[in-house]
Chains A and B, each alone.
Chain A
Amino acid sequence: MRRAILAVLATAVGLVLLLSFKPHEMTALAQRPAAVTQGDAGATGGRGEGPGDGSLGRDRDHDDGHDDDDHDEFDDGDGDRLGGGSSGAAGSSGASGAADLTGSWTGPGATAGATSGEKTVTGDSADTRWGPVQVAIVISAGKMAGVKVLDAPANNHRDIRINNEALPILNEEALSARSAQIDTVSGATYTSDGYIRSLQSALDKAGL
């Protein structure tokens, strides 16, 4: 039986980690395009940043970049919204984290007025450990209406896998983020009492 399971598992390549994705942030989504629009100026200013800049300060330069939210999968996870100095401790491999940039969606910039009409905003090319990634976002009537991947790595098997698996998922993420679409929750083992206040309990109820 174990062997049968493993045979099935060998085909399971879709392993994706999307950092800093919170259901309760969905309500703030209507404000996101404002942050995107604001980020536009910063994005054009930051363009042309050379690849290979893996310094821990890199993500600061992207702070206004609207595309960074979509790059979380390429982040090594050092960033954190609490800003707890994690980068230095954990930045031993790969590019530095961009997860803290999700804060730019919901930070002070997010409260700026939304624009109307349709507009395409091209993000900075972000250096990931697998190579540069660049996306463009279409804004219509002040809301994010589409995401397009302009540049993505295609060097080795892992990169191809990421292109095939992760980027489409990233697109979907940006477009359907209004509904969190979480099927289940993994967390520290809860007791029967703890279950009552758990997210899983809410999901179980919602599905009944």
Chain B
Amino acid sequence: MTRHVEHVMGTVFSFDVRHDDGRHDDEAGPRVAAALAEAVAWLHHVDAVFSTYKPGSPVSRLGRGEITLADCPPEVADILRMCESVSRLSHGYFTACPGGRLDPSAIVKGWAVDRASVILREAGLPDHCVNGGGDVRLSGAAAPGRTWRVGVAHPLRPGDLAAVVSGHDLAVATSGTAERGAHVLDPHTGRPATELASVTVIGPDLALADAYATGALAMGGAAREWVEGLDGYEAFAVTAAGATWHTSGL
């Protein structure tokens, strides 16, 4: 097992690579180290392109109208297309411009984690877990015959878990108010969404799960029915009052 923690994008990415060479971290093969270095470099690249905190990033400059989409790296257009698609699907509850300012972060982090996972997989490391600030990509198995187990942090009781999701090759994304307050706005009212304390979306793609979770948090209670209609995705939520619900596929 090799673990790596990387501070990037204003949060922390945790890598947990399971490989059976049986050696300690310090002696982990150069293959693992090289793959992790590539994945970490990728995350820093994404940060440089998409950061809304770096005034000189292409996305910041695009948001200020200083450059056009054609001037940006091609992945910016890819992300904005994905944002547009989820925005339509979520009846506007997910938006690439929360508060009127271009900020596709709610989809970028999950997307970056998924690509980092692909880098590890292509390096011959199929069994790993990448956690980007609370959004999780599971790949392969935790150990032969043992699925990964993801605790869902309880939004109202710090340090507790509200649920455990177990599986392999899954994306688990949570959006909630626990860490940064009611930061997700209901775009239709402009007010912070407070009905749900957290929503966890589980499915095949972390970029989409990440965006769906954000849209679902903005939606509130209506998110349950909405996620029921999303093919391949399930949701678990804790309401502000501490009640829980989950969609029928779980």
Contacts and interface: CB of A to CB of B under 8 A. Distances in A.
Contacts of A124: none
Given A187-B155, A189-B180, 6 more contacts: A182-B149, A183-B129, A184-B136, A184-B138, A189-B134, A194-B179
A102 B127 CA distance: 33
Interface centre among A9, A186, A201 (most CB of B within 10 A): A186
B236 A1 contact: no
Contacts of B153: 185-188, 198-199
B65 interface: no
A24 interface: yes
A77 B179 contact: no
B177 A188 contact: yes
B94 to A, nearest CB: 15
Nearest to A79: B244
B204 interface: yes
B142 interface: yes
Classify the interface of chain B: helix, strand, loop or mixed: strand
Contacts of B241: 82, 84-86
A93 B136 contact: no
Given A19-B244, A86-B241, A99-B244, A187 B204 contact: no
B149 A181 contact: yes
Interface residues on B, range: 35 or more
Interface string B163-204: 111111110111111111000000000000000001010101
Nearest to B1: A207
A129 to B, nearest CB: 8
Interface of A: 1, 5-6, 8-9, 11-12, 14-24, 76-82, 84-86, 89-90, 93-94, 97, 99, 129, 169, 180-192, 194-195, 197-201, 203-204, 207-208
Contact of B245 (A77, A182, A186): A77
B10 interface: yes
A80 to B, nearest CB: 5
Nearest to B204: A9
Interface in B1-44: 1, 3, 5, 7, 10-12, 14, 16, 25
A198 B198 CA distance: 16
Interface of B: 1, 3, 5, 7, 10-12, 14, 16, 25, 109, 114, 118, 129, 131, 133-136, 138, 142, 147-156, 158-170, 172-180, 198, 200, 202, 204-205, 221, 224, 234, 236, 238-239, 241-246, 248-250
A140 to B, nearest CB: 25
A14 B134 contact: no
Contacts of A6: 204
A8 B121 CA distance: 12
Contacts of A12: 167-170, 204
Classify the interface of chain A: helix, strand, loop or mixed: loop
Contacts of A90: 221, 224, 243, 245
B129 A184 contact: yes
Contacts of B246: 17, 76-77
A97 B148 CA distance: 25
A183 B16 contact: yes
Contact of A17 (B10, B11, B156, B236): B236
Contact of A22 (B3, B160, B166): B160
Contacts of B224: 90
A188 B249 CA distance: 22
Contact of A20 (B12, B163, B168, B202): B163
